[in-house]
């Protein structure tokens, strides 16, 4: 006789430990964790948003940031210490070494990407409240800010005014690596922000920025970081991958030529780096299967190349 087992063998404590373990294994991120603030993600087609006013008169409606994406095995993202605080940045230092060695592609992958932060209200999901919009600066951020200029009168208008401001319409075509932003325009009719209490959820942008130390960034780049460990290490500059700055022999020249032939087009429509930013951005989830596969392959190749030089 077969014994009837009613239990499912589900162990909630073990599952809880596993979930917490996954959380602990997550790489570093450049935005402070805030359970009350959701991130805004654009959809394919028309996106209707309202850019919310600045926190106070001392702040602006937007903030440009510079981010190193895809650092280390956990694909961490770090605010660039050089661009953001005018301090020494280990990732930028390594990029400069590659540039001086004539390895422009390697240098390009390590340079920080530009993003623009906004607090917005998703007009299609207003019940979800204030969201943080991290927009690609060149394709969305700059065009959006330019909407504050009346091209005919050359006057500056406040599109964030809660009574007579304007919604912004961003038209996104395609997904993943095929994404194009067709237009960033103002709605033709001014509108009112119905729930003014939403303004209470706006924070100073600097309160959301998460900086890591030089030592932590360097350790993560080298694959030696202990998660969330702020203790300084005694690593020397020699711990970085050695870069040959001398003349390349014929065999190496042939290898570099072969490598150049295999380089992918890194002009991502989202403003991300092909391969380097694999699975770092929310838009990556919408990427076409074949493109995502190629991007993942390039990402693995990049990580292997860095590991081989250690």
Q: Measure the CA–CA gap between 137 and 146, rounded to whole angstroms.
A: 12
- Do residues 278 and 295 make contact, with C-beta atoms less than 8 angstroms apart? yes
**Is 230 strand, coil or helix?**
coil
Distance of CA 161 to the CA centre of its chain: 28
Please choose, from the candidates 202, 180, 221, 203, the residue with its C-alpha nearest in 3D space to the C-alpha of residue 306: 221
pLDDT tens string, the chain, 310 residues long: the values are 555 544 556 667 766 665 555 444 457 899 998 888 999 999 999 999 999 999 999 999 999 999 999 998 888 999 999 999 999 999 999 999 999 999 999 999 999 999 999 999 999 999 999 999 999 999 999 999 999 999 999 999 999 999 999 999 999 998 877 889 999 999 999 999 999 999 999 999 999 999 999 999 999 999 876 554 444 444 444 455 555 544 444 433 333 233 333 333 444 655 567 777 776 665 676 566 667 778 778 777 776 665 555 4
Q: Residue 282: what pLDDT?
A: 59
Please choose, from the candidates 98, 36, 76, 124, the residue with its C-alpha nearest in 3D space to the C-alpha of residue 244: 98
**Is 200 strand, coil or helix?**
helix
Q: Residue 293: what pLDDT?
A: 76
Q: Residue 83: what pLDDT?
A: 97
Upper half-sphere CA count for residue 99 (Cβ side, 13 Å): 11
Q: Measure the CA–CA gap between 98 and 88, rounded to whole angstroms.
A: 17
CATH dotted code for 28-308: 3.90.198.10
Q: Measure the CA–CA gap between 179 and 176, rounded to whole angstroms.
A: 6
Question: Measured on CA atoms in the order 127, 187, 139, 206, is the torsion positive or negative?
Answer: negative
Domain boundaries in the chain?
28-308
């Amino acid at each position: 006789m077969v014994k009837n087992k009613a239990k499912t063998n589900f162990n909630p404590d073990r599952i809880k430990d596993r979930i917490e373990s996954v959380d602990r294994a997550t790489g570093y991120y450049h935005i402070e964790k805030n359970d009350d603030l959701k991130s805004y993600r654009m959809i394919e087609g028309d996106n209707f948003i309202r850019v919310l006013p600045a926190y106070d008169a001392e702040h602006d409606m937007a903030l440009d940031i510079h981010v190193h994406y895809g650092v280390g095995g956990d694909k961490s993202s770090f605010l660039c210490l050089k661009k953001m605080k005018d301090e020494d940045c280990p990732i930028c230092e390594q990029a400069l070494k590659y540039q001086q060695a004539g390895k422009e592609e390697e240098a390009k992958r390590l340079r920080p990407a530009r993003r623009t932060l906004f607090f917005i209200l998703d007009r299609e999901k207003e019940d979800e409240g204030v969201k943080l919009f991290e927009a690609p600066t060149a394709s969305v951020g700059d065009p959006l800010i330019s909407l504050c200029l009346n091209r005919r009168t050359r006057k500056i208008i406040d599109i964030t005014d809660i009574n007579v401001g304007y919604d912004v319409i961003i038209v996104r075509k395609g997904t993943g690596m095929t994404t194009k932003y067709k237009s960033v325009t103002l709605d033709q009719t001014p509108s009112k922000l119905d729930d003014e209490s939403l303004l209470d959820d706006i924070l100073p942008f600097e309160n959301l920025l998460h900086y890591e130390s030089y030592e932590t960034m360097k350790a993560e780049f080298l694959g030696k970081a202990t998660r969330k460990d702020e203790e300084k290490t005694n690593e020397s500059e020699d711990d970085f991958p050695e870069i040959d700055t001398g003349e390349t022999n014929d065999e190496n020249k042939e290898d570099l030529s072969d490598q150049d032939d295999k380089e992918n087009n890194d002009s991502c429509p989202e403003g991300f780096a092909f391969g380097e930013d694999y699975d770092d951005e929310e838009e990556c989830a919408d990427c076409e299967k074949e493109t995502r596969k190629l991007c993942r392959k390039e990402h693995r190749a990049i990580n292997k190349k860095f590991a081989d030089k250690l």
